[in-house]
Amino acid sequence: MEGFTHLIPFAAAHEVLRQGRRHLTLVRMTPDLIYDQLIGMGAADRLIFSWGGNPGVGSLHRLRDAVENGWPQPLLLEEHSHAAMANAYEAGAANLPFAVFRGYIGVDLPKVNPRIRSVECPFTGERLAAVPAIRPDVTIIHAQRADREGNVLLDGIVGVQKQAVLAAARAIVTVEEIVDRLDAPGLNAVVLPSWTITAIAAVPGGAFPSYAQGYYRRANGFYTQWDEISRDRERFRTWVTQNVLQQGPDAFRAYSPRAR
Amino acid sequence: MDQAPAGSWTANEMMTIVAARALVSRDVCFVGIGAPSAACNLARLTHAPGITLIYESGTIGARPTVLPLSIGDGELCETALATVSVPEMFRYWLQGGRITVGFLSGAQMDRYANLNTTVVGPYEHPKVRLPGGGGAPEIAACCQQVFITIPMSQRTFVERLPFITSLGHGTGQGSREALGLTTRGPTRIMTDLCVLAPEPGTCELVVTSLHPGVTREAALAACGWPLRFSDRLATTAEPTAQELQVLRDLQTRSATAHRDAH
């Protein structure tokens, strides 16, 4: 489930929780609140990530509780830097076995992550960092819109979503709306052809409390509130029960000004 | 320029202002979130209007009216000259050597300006699990130089880091070169008490300037290693009325915007 602050697939993550999926390996550069929720509910065995905080606020308390105290279950970490994961997604999309880049120089992560290795440039002899390509079984993203043929458009901060979709065996996309014509704007639109996508669901508001450029803004206030909600195990569970397990995808409609 | 009345500013404001002063208009600056972002935008709104601010979300030349809460707030993209994908940001722009200054913060720092944002305690069983490196390991290696802004205390300025998340000057003079790096690494550290810089010849951080009203003893007491002072120790210039006004306006606007974000 990717989305670099923008277009984070909250509605899809909540559906994964409702379906009671367990033993997941979660992959994401910035786990953000959705992985805090999945980890806190015990849905994940393993996390591959590069920055696990609540942006601008502080800790992800459920992630911390899992790592520090094994609650509700232990979580195996495979930790990278952003550059490594961005390169690893790109390698996955390019159907390469690994990514090569100039990184991890003089730092400790390679000592604790055996999947960070190095290769020698065959032309110059330079040692370069190597990490395995990321090839998810399934990538889930949220996008602004799809047309009736299933072509998908996202724009604004596009993160690594294109790479994550093309690296995956299957891709599921939730969108703000389904339209007759995509009408790609002049910004930096990414268009994913329908044949790169496995399934599309229209879920207006589905990125809340992150945002969908051109539809609604980031609810920074909720990110701040999450710090308190997630700090306490019981309060967290009550929140998830009331706001995820006892709800459906339509609950997100309230956050989309256009769908309301 | 008018000085603000003495004592009318906080140590945190002083830290942000002195950090902003380190930047110049021609800089292309990779901005870390939090304190670095405040300093970078203060510089842009005062003496460095031409500065290019780059956030790791892919926004190049962002000119936000309020401080973003995250590195990917929508306003960064709306005001940017261009927005690129995250792989492009790290491959072409950072690794490509296009960035003059990387502006970082951290939870802990040692005397050679190595930073820890990963764990306190052993990695496998951490006492405190911190967010991790994010972009920092490669920012610290690839930018032409690095500025760090970090509040000073026994907890943050430590004798020995439990984990090196991003490289400063390693174990001292020559460490970066031995690893094949040609970039300068950390050149200036801006704290709430003083400014530090690597000492020529050893790369150990020494205090180059104490903020107004801060004593040597106060700086020593807030440092976990036997802190040394430059032979040419200066006193930091006080905040100007304009610097304080612009910073406070920016922070008020930001707080209001984040409160009614929805």
Mean confidence (pLDDT) of chain A = 95
Nearest chain B CA: its distance from A107 CA (Å): 5
Domains in chain A: boundaries: 10-79+136-248
Coil, helix or strand at residue A187: coil
Q: Which residues have CB under 8 Å from B213's CB, separation 6+?
A: B6, B7
pTM over the 0.90 mark: yes
- Put simply, the answer to whether B86 touches A82 (Cβ < 8 Å) is yes
Average pLDDT, integer, range A211-240: 95
Segment A86-143, tens digit of pLDDT: 999 999 999 999 999 999 999 999 999 999 999 999 999 999 999 999 999 999 999 9
Could you give the ipTM of this predicted complex? 0.94
Q: Please tell me the predicted confidence (pLDDT) of residue A56.
A: 83
* Chain B residues touching A191 at Cβ < 8 A: none
Is the pLDDT at A50 greater than 60, yes or no?
yes
**A188: nearest CB among B83, B130, B262:** B83
Q: How many CA atoms lie within 13 A of A173 on its CB side?
A: 29
Is the pLDDT at A185 greater than 90, yes or no?
no
B86, B118, B139, B259, best to mutate vs chain A, most A CBs in 10 Å: B86
Q: Please tell me the predicted confidence (pLDDT) of residue B262.
A: 44
* Chain A residues touching B87 at Cβ < 8 A: 86-87, 89-90, 160, 163
Per CATH, is A10-79+136-248 categorized as 3.10.20.30?
A: no
DSSP lists the bridge partners of residue B210 as B194, B235
Enclosing H/E stretch for A131:
strand A127-132
Average pLDDT, integer, range A155-178: 97
**Scanning every residue of chain B, which has its alpha carbon at the shortest distance from the alpha carbon of A162?**
B85
* Chain B residues touching A209 at Cβ < 8 A: 262
Distance of alpha carbon B157 from alpha carbon B222, whole angstroms: 8
- Put simply, the answer to whether B132 touches A209 (Cβ < 8 Å) is no
Distance of alpha carbon A237 from alpha carbon A20, whole angstroms: 14
* Chain B residues touching A112 at Cβ < 8 A: 123-124
Nearest to A51 by CA among A118, A110, A97, A5: A5
Residues 13-42 on B with a CB inside 8 Å of A are 33-34
Enclosing H/E stretch for A233:
helix A233-240
Assess B95–A contact: CB distance below 8 Å, yes or no.
yes
Q: Please tell me the predicted confidence (pLDDT) of residue A186.
A: 65
**A106: nearest CB among B70, B167, B261:** B167
Nearest chain A CA: its distance from B4 CA (Å): 29
Nearest chain B CA: its distance from A17 CA (Å): 24
**Scanning every residue of chain A, which has its alpha carbon at the shortest distance from the alpha carbon of B93?**
A83
Please list the pLDDT of chain B residue by residue as tens digits (262 residues): 566 666 799 999 999 999 999 999 999 999 987 789 999 999 999 999 999 999 999 999 999 999 988 888 888 888 999 999 999 999 999 999 999 999 999 999 999 999 999 999 999 999 999 999 999 999 999 999 999 999 999 999 999 999 999 999 999 999 999 999 999 999 999 999 999 999 999 999 999 999 999 999 999 999 999 999 999 999 999 999 999 999 999 999 988 887 754 4
Q: Which residues have CB under 8 Å from B150's CB, separation 6+?
A: B35, B105, B106, B109, B156, B189, B190, B191
**Scanning every residue of chain B, which has its alpha carbon at the shortest distance from the alpha carbon of A109?**
B165
Assess B151–A contact: CB distance below 8 Å, yes or no.
no
Q: How far is CA A63 from CA A8, A114, B117, in A?
A: 18, 22, 15
**B134: nearest CB among A82, A187, A255:** A82
**Scanning every residue of chain B, which has its alpha carbon at the shortest distance from the alpha carbon of A125?**
B180
**A86: nearest CB among B69, B86, B261:** B86
Is the pLDDT at A187 greater than 70, yes or no?
no
Residue B159: active-site member: no
Distance of alpha carbon A84 from alpha carbon A48, whole angstroms: 11
What size, in residues, is chain A? 260
Query: Domain B11-257 sits in which CATH superfamily?
Result: Glutaconate Coenzyme A-transferase (3.40.1080.10)
